[in-house]
Amino acid sequence: MTTNILELIQYITWLATERGEVLSPIRLVKFLYLTDLYHARKNSGVTLTGWPWKFVHYGPFCGESLGTIKRAVEEGFIEAFSYESQFDDEEHYLYKHRADKEPIIASSLPFYITGPLQGAVKKWAGDTYALLDHVYFETEPMMGVQPGDLLDFSSAQEPEPAKHISMKKLSKQKIAKGKQLISKIRENQESLFQLVQERPIYDDAYFEALDYLNGDALDFPVQGEVKIEDSVTKFD
């Protein structure tokens, strides 16, 4: 099957835009990797793009992906808009695609690509960390490789379908006991709320780091100031 990769990039970006999301370079690259994986699972390890993916830059990456994304912008397949980063003076871009209807390529792609791809974009178009976790830890070509290794898609295989779990029928006594426990939990809502409040809270620095990661960079200086107000303790 011959596929126009520029149109594929347009389709992925359109899927995200339809959900109110814009794609950073790192997210768009990972969705292209997943597209190759979905194709390889049904075609004996042969990818759709034919690109040489390696284990670098937060998991699977290839230089061809960034070059083709740039072409997609230049030829009008997708739109790019820049944003400023407080960590450096380089240009960073996010991508979107405005269209009233689904790109034409969607009708020519097999469902074994469009189905899981739509699901992936729905899950991770706005969640870089979860997307990186998935491609890094849960995709077959990334299993057992070392940084710098070329990824082998011959290991690609369909995930096993979820097993049907038959629920055991509960007796009337156990149902009554369960209702008692639920009532007890409701009576202790204040205690449960306190436990939730004690969980770690993500602060501004966390979200700033995530924004910077979406700009396709991670190494940045950490600056800050800590003010501690307490009584002075003398140490001998």
Rounded CA gap, 222 and 216, in Å? 17
Tell me, what's the pLDDT at 210?
Answer: 55
Cα distance between the two ends of the chain: 77
Tell me, what's the pLDDT at 183?
Answer: 72
Rounded CA gap, 87 and 138, in Å? 31
CA torsion sign for 33, 213, 67, 63 is negative
Whole-number Cα distances in Å, 114 to 30, 36, 158, 198: 15, 12, 15, 42
Tell me, what's the pLDDT at 160?
Answer: 73
To the question of pTM greater than 0.85 for the whole model, the response is: no
Tell me, what's the pLDDT at 222?
Answer: 42
Reading the block at residue 105, the tokens are 């390529």
Tell me, what's the pLDDT at 191?
Answer: 54
Rounded CA gap, 135 and 27, in Å? 11
Mean pLDDT by 10 residues, the chain (236 residues): 85 97 96 98 97 93 96 96 79 90 94 97 96 96 96 91 65 75 66 46 53 49 48 45
Reading the block at residue 227, the tokens are 């003010």
What ranges do the domains of the chain cover? 5-155
